[in-house]
Amino acid sequence: MAEEILTEHWERISELVIAPFTDGRFVVKVAGKQLFSKADTGRFPTKGEMARLMSQA
């Protein structure tokens, strides 16, 4: 997923942080705005979903 985001949005990204959690959390934020949450959706993002969400942000 990080590779997908970097490939499609490299010119917009100054920092990409991947922080593992042991409690099952999976949250993606851009500029402090939450784009995706596993807790809200009950699933991980599908292929292409994060790049698409970033394009809309």
Query: Which domain, by its residues, includes 33?
Result: 2-56
**Confidence band (pLDDT; 50, 70, 90) for 53?**
confident
Query: Between 2 and 33, whose confidence is greater?
Result: 33
Count of the separate structural domains present in the chain: 1
Q: Around Cβ 45, how many Cβ atoms within 10 Å? A: 19
pLDDT digit string (tens) for 13-33?
A: 887 777 778 888 888 888 888
DSSP state of 32: T
Is-above-0.85 flag for pTM? no
Please classify residue 50 by burial: count the beta carbons closer than 10 Å to its beta carbon, then call 0-12 exposed, 13-18 middle and 19+ buried: buried
Per-chain mean pLDDT for the chain: 84
CB 1, CB 18: distance < 8 Å? no
DSSP state of 42: S
